[in-house]
Amino acid sequence: MNGPGSTDPATTHDADGAARERLAAVRGEVAKAVVGQDAAVSGLLVALLCGGHVLMEGVPGTAKTLLVRTLAASLSVESRRVQFTPDLMPGDITGSMVIDSRAGELSFREGPVFTNLLLADEVNRTPPKTQSALLEAMEEGQVSVDGVSRPLPRPFLVAATQNPVEYEGTYPLPEAQLDRFLLKVVLPIPPREAELEILRRHADGFDPRDVAGAGVLPVAGADDIAAGRAAVGRVQVSPEVAGYIVDIARATRESPSLSLGVSPRGATALLRSARAWAWLTGRDFVTPDDVKALAHATLVHRLGLRPEAELEGVDVAQVLASALGSVPVPR
């Protein structure tokens, strides 16, 4: 019998299941406007459940903006987009103090960071000072302007895109900031059949600026994300699986091709993302397959190649795959 103030496990289980079903339905709504990119949708959902952020990589025209706007519409939350440029100032992101002509005094005008889903487009085209302002928002869930800390809405997720570092006019993200992104997801050029479907939709009148016109409906909300986060916190991790994650991190640190392996923060990020993935797939415990499924997206951007390995054409994803293969999988 449950005492006063206790929660019935059956009721909790039912609530968890309902939140999971509604969040799973988001995939179908996103698919009404975005063809393919299932891995990116999964990554964004995992990050939302973990309270993390996502670094998105893809050439222009792979539906990054459309994906974030459609996800926001299906979750009934607000989204904004900021085009990062070399002359962007921190106040352009966080907001600033302006003179209220009617009151004759300074008041705070919120910047675009005050939203639920922020698409930070070409984040490495802006100087480090502006990148740092975004970093505080990502890390602390708040911004500081004129000595006052202002909390951001919840949920809050940054989906940042970046250009390849060899592009002219880029400011490579520092390792400390890369480590703040829970996941890095790649939006590839779609295969031929998917591209044909995109053209068919456009020929039928699809307008990527009109998400509502595509029939996208709000099927989940901020309450479902909050319930999902609580449920993810109850997902069990066995000592064997925890040891597997630690051994993967240590294997990257011992790789002769890497100057920078996975930090303890990276190992905890893999734990968090694996728990979220396990819950999304209907389980209350993490398996080694969950860890392997999220290892690449969670760890690849946290690794640094040695200069000699770069000259030899070694790919960081290959090094990570080799490290994963060297670690025994618990049974």
* Averaged pLDDT score across all residues of the chain: 88
Checking if the pLDDT of 76 tops 80, the result is yes
Confidence of residue 170 (pLDDT cuts 50, 70, 90): low
Cis peptide before 190 (omega within 30 of 0): no
* Residue 173 tokens, joined: 């993200």
Note the pTM of the prediction, 2 decimals: 0.87
pLDDT score of 101: 73
Checking if the pLDDT of 295 tops 90, the result is yes
Domain residue limits, the chain:
9-233, 235-331
- Supply φ then ψ for residue 87, to 5 degrees: -100, 10
In this structure, of 29-33, 176-180, 235-239, 314-318, the range with the lowest mean pLDDT score is 176-180
Nearest to 125 by CA among 169, 64, 61, 177: 169
Domain 9-233 has CATH 3.40.30.10: no
Q: Is 326 strand, coil or helix? A: helix
What is the per-residue pLDDT across 183-231, written as a single tens digit (0 to 9) for each?
999 888 889 999 999 999 999 998 888 888 888 999 999 999 999 999 9
Nearest to 120 by CA among 103, 108, 137, 106: 137
Rounded distance, CA 101 to CA 289, Å? 59
Percent of the chain with pLDDT over 90: 54
Cis peptide before 256 (omega within 30 of 0): no
Q: How far is CA 121 from CA 60, 81, 298, in A?
A: 10, 7, 20
What is the per-residue pLDDT across 114-147, written as a single tens digit (0 to 9) for each?
999 999 988 888 888 888 888 888 888 888 888 8
Rounded distance, CA 252 to CA 212, Å? 45
- CATH domain 235-331 topology: Helicase, Ruva Protein; domain 3 (1.10.8)
